Structure 1
Amino acid sequence: MNQFSTDVINLGRTPERFDGLVNTPVFRGSTIVVNSFSEWEEFKRNGGVYRHYGRFGAATAKSFESAISALEGGAGSMVFPSGLSACTHALMACVEANSHVLIADNIYGPTRNFADNILV
């Protein structure tokens, strides 16, 4: 096996966090509880990656993001639950009010709908 194969198999795994389980367990949930709003705000203020919704910040996603970042040599990664979510996040991150966006006619249909009806 080469180094890349070894990395693909091992990156993103933290068995010490999950009682020795090699793979991060799948966490499914929509609501994440915190002790207080002030605690949540403080965590955010100090640069913490706060868990505010099950799809963003759950251990399963964070393990995958960590592995992708390491494999690609990136500073960080974000994973999304759908193609539409990924496309709209990319557009919203890069487009300012009153900007122009050129979109190909054959773009992913839901993204076209987002551009035609939300970004207008």
Structure 2
Amino acid sequence: MGWTFDWLSSANSDFNHDFAVSFTPEELKSGAKIYNFGTSGFGVEEAPGISVFYRDEAGNIFHTYSCFARGLDMMNAAYHYLDLTPLGRHEEGLPYPMDWVRHRDQYQPTPVQASCCHS
């Protein structure tokens, strides 16, 4: 296709707070609907979100797209694999969606359980 685009990080900036995907403990405690353009609350300080911008030849910057929550599924192939498994994302009954996710070195080994094929 011949075109490219830059990926940029919002680290060490106010961007995530301005676009309502990062929250202070006080904001979370208030219970206000502050996530996804004020449609819902969120239970942890960092929420998922992606924004797209366009800069024209004159240097003007336009916010062209944002998505939140399940709108990010197409960007994370791991979700598609989890959705194929018997327990899916295993979100039901958890206080916060996906609070089972850990950094790869923070999972605790679980004992092997007997199955229909092994005892």
Q: TM-score range by the shorter chain?
A: under 0.3
Considering fraction of residues, name the structure with more helix.
1
TM-score norm. by structure 2 comes to 0.26
* Larger RCO, structure (CA 8 Å, separation 6 or more): 1
Q: Pick the structure with greater CA Rg.
A: 2
TM-score norm. by structure 1 comes to 0.26
